[in-house]
Amino acid sequence: MINNFQNKFGLTKPILIAGPCSAESEKQTLETAHKLKKHKNLIFRAGIWKPRTRPNSFEGIGSKGLKWIQKVKEETGLKSTVEVAKAKHVELALKHEVDILWIGARTTGNPFAMQEIADSLKGIDIPVMVKNPINPEVNLWIGAIERLLESGIYNIAAIHRGFFTYKNSKYRNIPQWQLALDLKRKFPKLPMICDPSHITGNSNHILEIAQKAMDMSYDGLMIETHIDPKNALSDNEQQITPLELENILNKLVIRNFETDDKEFKATLKQLRIQIDDLDIELLDVLKRRMDLVEKIGVHKKENEVTILQNNRWIEMLKSRVKYGEENGLSELFIQQLLKAIHQESIDKQNSVMNKK
């Protein structure tokens, strides 16, 4: 059973996890921490070991940085968290009294590494946060959490840091909020932390993503904060100063999860009834559409014509996206919806084609 580590440390929602992408020097680490200590519910983060895509880039200061994290705790009283990617990291982090561990995206996607970490944590009571894997595969995220649960780690949180995409995007990693919601459905009591820094890859968009996360009732934010972002040794474009962090927090609107207002509840209930009715209509329309798809499949089979007609698909996608945009629906939503319908249509016609 997942416990809420907010209660373990007496934190209230929303939790704030802030600090530099990397601990670069004792001075930089301590200065950043002292500028952050005034914030409520703050956990200090700093990367000690940095898994980089290519060699010869800054891969973290290494274990000596853990002494600086200890000093942060002594001087500020802040709880601390560092990323671990193997059992040796866990051993060293625990030796230096790190309060919370977090698992990075590359490690979450590696079952062997996750099992090694889970095994090293057996019999140890320490909270662990698990970032989503780089690629949009929610089962890897689920599997990483399950490995920790099987090792007796129950104080777990998830960190949503977005997913890699080959397509051009305004974000470094596209959010794909629905995948985080899928994880939440699997583990309803799992605290969900949003990492706007890694989603955006750009400090100018952090407030935008942070607000979306708060509007979706996330439990907290992880925001990379550095006293001198322009000269940071890693991910300088997505880090902000402590003052910029304070400005973002002041602009954030924290909404109530629920209200006792009877008029609000009555109106919401009526609107939801209308949505329920429209959903039934929508499913009825989809059923009639699939009946036509099946007839087309029979017609193609009788005339020995292939299922996929790519020119028709491209033409249909283009016209539907245009119509959707004219009616206030986003291109991304229309594409995702039509692709799902198209895949179901192909499966339906495949069934017809291969039916004896």
Boundary of a domain, candidates 251, 282, 311: 251
> Residue 86: which of 122, 115, 62 has the closest Cα?
115
171 plus 24 within the same structural domain: yes
230 plus 289 within the same structural domain: no
180 plus 324 within the same structural domain: no
In a domain, 256, yes or no: no
202 plus 294 within the same structural domain: no
Boundary of a domain, candidates 206, 232, 251: 251
Taking residues 185-192, report their average pLDDT.
94
168 plus 68 within the same structural domain: yes
Structural contact between residues 326 and 274, judged by C-beta atoms closer than 8 angstroms: no
In a domain, 205, yes or no: yes
201 plus 274 within the same structural domain: no
Cα 292 to Cα 290: distance, rounded to the nearest angstrom: 5
Q: List the domain range (segments joined by +) for residue 344.
A: 262-353
In a domain, 257, yes or no: no
47 plus 21 within the same structural domain: yes
Q: How many structural domains comprise the chain?
A: 2
Check pLDDT > 80 for residue 259: yes
193 plus 216 within the same structural domain: yes
pLDDT in tens, 54-113: 787 788 899 999 999 999 999 999 999 999 999 999 999 999 999 999 999 999 999 999
User: What are phi and psi for residue 245, nearest 5 degrees?
Assistant: -60, -45
Residue 59 CB neighbours (<10 A) = 15
227 plus 312 within the same structural domain: no
Give pLDDT, residue 48.
Answer: 95
Q: Please report which confidence band the pLDDT of residue 347 belongs to, taking 50, 70 and 90 as the band edges.
A: very high
For the domain that residue 130 is a member of, what is the CATH number?
3.20.20.70
Boundary of a domain, candidates 251, 277, 311: 251
Cα 262 to Cα 273: distance, rounded to the nearest angstrom: 17
In a domain, 307, yes or no: yes
Cα 24 to Cα 305: distance, rounded to the nearest angstrom: 63
59 plus 173 within the same structural domain: yes
Instruction: Kindly report the pTM of this predicted structure.
Output: 0.85
18 plus 99 within the same structural domain: yes
For the domain that residue 335 is a member of, what is the CATH number?
1.20.59.10
